[in-house]
Chain A
Amino acid sequence: ILNVEQSPQSLHVQEGDSTNFTCSFPSSNFYALHWYRWETAKSPEALFVMTLNGDEKKKGRISATLNTKEGYSYLYIKGSQPEDSATYLCALTNDYKLSFGAGTTVTVRA
Protein backbone atom coordinates (compact mmCIF):
# COMPACT_ATOMS: atom_id res chain seq x y z
CA ILE A 1 0.00 0.00 0.00
CA LEU A 2 1.44 3.39 -0.98
CA ASN A 3 1.31 6.10 1.67
CA VAL A 4 -0.66 9.03 0.27
CA GLU A 5 -1.33 11.94 2.60
CA GLN A 6 -3.64 14.87 2.03
CA SER A 7 -3.71 18.10 3.98
CA PRO A 8 -5.58 19.75 5.39
CA GLN A 9 -8.30 17.24 6.23
CA SER A 10 -10.91 19.95 5.78
CA LEU A 11 -11.13 23.63 5.01
CA HIS A 12 -13.72 26.36 4.77
CA VAL A 13 -13.46 29.07 2.16
CA GLN A 14 -15.57 32.12 1.49
CA GLU A 15 -17.37 32.27 -1.83
CA GLY A 16 -15.18 34.05 -4.33
CA ASP A 17 -11.92 33.31 -2.52
CA SER A 18 -9.27 31.00 -3.89
CA THR A 19 -7.80 28.06 -2.05
CA ASN A 20 -5.37 25.21 -2.46
CA PHE A 21 -4.45 21.99 -0.72
CA THR A 22 -1.81 19.30 -0.90
CA CYS A 23 -1.32 15.67 -1.74
CA SER A 24 2.00 14.13 -0.64
CA PHE A 25 3.32 10.76 -1.77
CA PRO A 26 6.51 8.69 -1.98
CA SER A 27 8.58 10.03 -4.86
CA SER A 28 10.13 6.71 -5.83
CA ASN A 29 8.64 4.53 -8.57
CA PHE A 30 6.10 7.14 -9.59
CA TYR A 31 3.74 6.31 -12.45
CA ALA A 32 0.65 8.50 -12.18
CA LEU A 33 -1.36 10.68 -9.81
CA HIS A 34 -5.13 10.99 -9.99
CA TRP A 35 -7.41 13.69 -8.55
CA TYR A 36 -11.10 13.00 -7.98
CA ARG A 37 -13.95 15.17 -6.73
CA TRP A 38 -16.61 13.54 -4.54
CA GLU A 39 -19.72 15.56 -3.92
CA THR A 40 -22.16 14.52 -1.23
CA ALA A 41 -24.68 11.91 -2.42
CA LYS A 42 -22.86 11.52 -5.73
CA SER A 43 -20.16 9.26 -7.13
CA PRO A 44 -16.52 10.33 -7.20
CA GLU A 45 -15.59 11.78 -10.57
CA ALA A 46 -12.18 12.17 -12.11
CA LEU A 47 -10.64 15.61 -12.38
CA PHE A 48 -7.11 14.94 -13.56
CA VAL A 49 -4.63 12.19 -14.27
CA MET A 50 -1.07 13.44 -14.15
CA THR A 51 2.01 11.52 -15.15
CA LEU A 52 4.89 13.92 -15.82
CA ASN A 53 6.96 15.95 -13.39
CA GLY A 54 5.99 19.59 -13.77
CA ASP A 55 2.61 18.70 -15.23
CA GLU A 56 -0.05 21.36 -14.85
CA LYS A 57 -3.67 20.61 -15.67
CA LYS A 58 -6.75 22.82 -15.64
CA LYS A 59 -10.48 22.27 -15.77
CA GLY A 60 -12.47 25.48 -15.47
CA ARG A 61 -11.52 27.15 -12.17
CA ILE A 62 -9.73 24.07 -10.85
CA SER A 63 -6.10 23.35 -11.62
CA ALA A 64 -3.40 21.00 -10.38
CA THR A 65 0.36 20.84 -10.40
CA LEU A 66 2.67 17.88 -9.93
CA ASN A 67 6.19 17.56 -8.52
CA THR A 68 7.27 13.94 -8.69
CA LYS A 69 10.84 14.60 -7.51
CA GLU A 70 9.72 15.97 -4.15
CA GLY A 71 6.51 13.94 -4.00
CA TYR A 72 3.63 16.39 -3.93
CA SER A 73 0.74 17.74 -5.93
CA TYR A 74 -1.31 20.87 -5.33
CA LEU A 75 -4.93 21.36 -6.26
CA TYR A 76 -6.10 24.96 -6.69
CA ILE A 77 -9.62 26.31 -6.78
CA LYS A 78 -9.88 29.84 -8.08
CA GLY A 79 -12.85 31.99 -7.11
CA SER A 80 -14.58 29.27 -5.08
CA GLN A 81 -18.28 28.72 -5.66
CA PRO A 82 -20.79 26.76 -3.54
CA GLU A 83 -20.80 24.00 -6.15
CA ASP A 84 -17.10 23.44 -5.43
CA SER A 85 -18.03 22.06 -2.01
CA ALA A 86 -16.88 18.45 -2.08
CA THR A 87 -14.22 16.05 -0.88
CA TYR A 88 -11.20 16.04 -3.13
CA LEU A 89 -9.30 12.77 -3.30
CA CYS A 90 -5.87 12.15 -4.67
CA ALA A 91 -4.64 8.69 -5.57
CA LEU A 92 -1.26 7.33 -6.55
CA THR A 93 -0.60 4.39 -8.79
CA ASN A 94 2.59 2.58 -9.65
CA ASP A 95 1.00 -0.49 -11.16
CA TYR A 96 -2.59 -1.37 -11.87
CA LYS A 97 -3.89 -0.26 -8.48
CA LEU A 98 -4.75 3.11 -6.96
CA SER A 99 -3.83 4.05 -3.40
CA PHE A 100 -6.05 6.86 -2.15
CA GLY A 101 -5.47 9.57 0.38
CA ALA A 102 -8.17 10.30 2.96
CA GLY A 103 -9.25 13.43 1.12
CA THR A 104 -9.62 17.14 1.73
CA THR A 105 -13.19 18.27 2.36
CA VAL A 106 -13.85 21.75 1.04
CA THR A 107 -16.84 23.76 2.21
CA VAL A 108 -17.58 26.99 0.38
CA ARG A 109 -19.52 29.53 2.43
CA ALA A 110 -21.90 31.78 0.54
Chain B
Amino acid sequence: DGGITQSPKYLFRKEGQNVTLSCEQNLNHDAMYWYRQDPGQGLRLIYYSQIVNDFQKGDIAEGYSVSREKKESFPLTVTSAQKNPTAFYLCASSPSAGVSYEQYFGPGTRLTVT
Protein backbone atom coordinates (compact mmCIF):
# COMPACT_ATOMS: atom_id res chain seq x y z
CA ASP B 1 0.00 0.00 0.00
CA GLY B 2 1.16 3.54 -0.70
CA GLY B 3 1.71 5.81 2.20
CA ILE B 4 4.03 7.51 4.63
CA THR B 5 5.90 5.71 7.36
CA GLN B 6 7.53 7.25 10.37
CA SER B 7 9.73 5.45 12.80
CA PRO B 8 9.92 4.91 15.62
CA LYS B 9 6.48 5.60 17.09
CA TYR B 10 7.98 6.53 20.47
CA LEU B 11 11.49 7.81 21.06
CA PHE B 12 13.25 8.63 24.30
CA ARG B 13 16.51 10.57 24.53
CA LYS B 14 18.64 12.22 27.12
CA GLU B 15 19.07 15.96 27.02
CA GLY B 16 22.10 16.98 24.98
CA GLN B 17 21.84 14.15 22.47
CA ASN B 18 20.95 14.60 18.83
CA VAL B 19 18.21 12.33 17.52
CA THR B 20 17.02 11.60 13.98
CA LEU B 21 13.39 10.90 13.11
CA SER B 22 12.71 8.87 9.99
CA CYS B 23 10.12 9.69 7.32
CA GLU B 24 9.66 7.61 4.16
CA GLN B 25 7.01 7.87 1.47
CA ASN B 26 6.24 5.66 -1.53
CA LEU B 27 3.65 7.98 -3.05
CA ASN B 28 6.13 9.46 -5.54
CA HIS B 29 5.42 12.90 -4.09
CA ASP B 30 7.78 15.77 -4.75
CA ALA B 31 7.06 17.78 -1.61
CA MET B 32 7.63 16.71 1.98
CA TYR B 33 7.08 18.48 5.30
CA TRP B 34 7.86 18.20 9.00
CA TYR B 35 5.47 19.52 11.64
CA ARG B 36 5.55 19.67 15.38
CA GLN B 37 2.50 19.50 17.64
CA ASP B 38 2.39 20.76 21.20
CA PRO B 39 -0.67 20.55 23.46
CA GLY B 40 -3.31 23.15 22.65
CA GLN B 41 -1.50 24.41 19.58
CA GLY B 42 -1.89 23.87 15.87
CA LEU B 43 0.66 21.98 13.84
CA ARG B 44 3.71 24.15 13.28
CA LEU B 45 5.95 23.78 10.24
CA ILE B 46 9.59 22.98 10.94
CA TYR B 47 11.04 22.37 7.48
CA TYR B 48 9.74 21.60 4.04
CA SER B 49 11.19 20.34 0.80
CA GLN B 50 9.68 21.05 -2.59
CA ILE B 51 11.99 18.72 -4.47
CA VAL B 52 14.91 16.38 -3.86
CA ASN B 53 18.17 18.07 -2.81
CA ASP B 54 16.29 21.21 -1.78
CA PHE B 55 14.64 22.27 1.48
CA GLN B 56 13.52 25.46 3.23
CA LYS B 57 13.06 26.52 6.81
CA GLY B 58 9.55 26.65 8.13
CA ASP B 59 8.27 28.73 11.01
CA ILE B 60 10.20 27.02 13.83
CA ALA B 61 13.40 25.64 12.25
CA GLU B 62 15.82 26.61 15.03
CA GLY B 63 17.45 23.55 16.58
CA TYR B 64 16.43 21.24 13.74
CA SER B 65 18.10 20.04 10.54
CA VAL B 66 16.93 18.00 7.56
CA SER B 67 18.22 16.40 4.39
CA ARG B 68 16.51 15.37 1.17
CA GLU B 69 18.96 13.16 -0.68
CA LYS B 70 16.27 10.84 -2.02
CA LYS B 71 12.77 11.64 -3.20
CA GLU B 72 11.20 9.16 -0.82
CA SER B 73 13.08 10.13 2.34
CA PHE B 74 13.10 13.28 4.49
CA PRO B 75 14.76 12.63 7.87
CA LEU B 76 14.59 15.22 10.64
CA THR B 77 17.39 15.65 13.17
CA VAL B 78 16.52 17.23 16.48
CA THR B 79 19.75 18.72 17.75
CA SER B 80 20.82 19.55 21.26
CA ALA B 81 20.27 23.21 20.36
CA GLN B 82 16.49 22.70 20.32
CA LYS B 83 15.38 24.07 23.69
CA ASN B 84 12.09 22.20 24.01
CA PRO B 85 12.35 19.06 21.89
CA THR B 86 9.70 16.99 23.65
CA ALA B 87 6.73 16.97 21.27
CA PHE B 88 4.77 14.96 18.72
CA TYR B 89 6.33 15.13 15.25
CA LEU B 90 4.38 14.59 12.04
CA CYS B 91 5.77 14.11 8.56
CA ALA B 92 3.67 14.81 5.47
CA SER B 93 3.98 14.79 1.72
CA SER B 94 2.09 16.20 -1.25
CA PRO B 95 2.32 15.66 -5.01
CA SER B 96 3.70 19.15 -5.37
CA ALA B 97 4.23 22.15 -3.14
CA GLY B 98 1.38 24.08 -4.77
CA VAL B 99 -1.31 25.59 -2.56
CA SER B 100 -4.16 23.43 -3.81
CA TYR B 101 -2.51 20.06 -3.10
CA GLU B 102 -3.69 18.21 -0.05
CA GLN B 103 -1.08 16.80 2.26
CA TYR B 104 -0.78 13.16 3.28
CA PHE B 105 0.41 12.53 6.81
CA GLY B 106 2.37 9.79 8.52
CA PRO B 107 1.44 8.31 11.91
CA GLY B 108 3.85 10.51 13.85
CA THR B 109 6.70 10.07 16.31
CA ARG B 110 6.39 11.09 19.93
CA LEU B 111 9.77 12.28 21.19
CA THR B 112 10.48 12.59 24.89
CA VAL B 113 13.71 14.20 26.03
CA THR B 114 14.64 14.06 29.71
Interface string of A86-110 (1 = CB under 8 A from B): 0001010111111111110000000
Across the interface, B50 reaches (CB within 8 A) one of A49, A94, A96, namely: A96
Which of A12-20, A40-48, A65-73, A76-84 contacts the other chain? A40-48
Known interface pairs A51-B99, A96-B50, A96-B99; A45-B42 also in contact (CB < 8 Å): no
Across the interface, B105 reaches (CB within 8 A) one of A32, A44, A99, namely: A44
Across the interface, A43 reaches (CB within 8 A) one of B41, B99, B107, namely: B107
Interface string of B30-53 (1 = CB under 8 A from A): 010101000011111100101000
Q: Which residue of B lies closest to A38 (CB)?
A: B105
Known interface pairs A1-B59, A43-B105, A43-B107; A100-B100 also in contact (CB < 8 Å): no
Tell whether, in the assembled complex, residue A51 and residue B105 are in contact, meaning their CB atoms are under 8 Å apart: no
Q: Which of chain B's residues have a CB closer than 8 A to the CB of A43?
A: 4, 90, 104-108
A62 interface residue, CB < 8 Å from B? Answer: no
Q: Which of chain A's residues have a CB closer than 8 A to the CB of B107?
A: 42-43
A-facing residues in B78-114 (Cβ within 8 Å):
90, 97-108
Across the interface, B99 reaches (CB within 8 A) one of A1, A95, A100, A103, namely: A95
Bin chain A's interface residue count.
20 to 34
Q: Which of chain A's residues have a CB closer than 8 A to the CB of B102?
A: 34, 46, 49
Known interface pairs A96-B48, A96-B50, A97-B48; A46-B103 also in contact (CB < 8 Å): yes
Known interface pairs A43-B108, A46-B104; A101-B99 also in contact (CB < 8 Å): no
Tell whether, in the assembled complex, residue B58 and residue A97 are in contact, meaning their CB atoms are under 8 Å apart: yes
Known interface pairs A43-B106, A43-B108; A96-B42 also in contact (CB < 8 Å): no
Q: How far is the CB of B23 from chain A (nearest CB, A)?
A: 12
- In the assembly, what is the distance between CA of A86 and CA of B4, in Å? 21
Q: How far is the CB of A31 from chain B (nearest CB, A)?
A: 4
Tell whether, in the assembled complex, residue B45 and residue A97 are in contact, meaning their CB atoms are under 8 Å apart: yes
* Residue positions of A touching B, CB distance < 8 A: 1, 4, 31-32, 34, 36, 42-46, 49, 51, 89, 91, 93-103
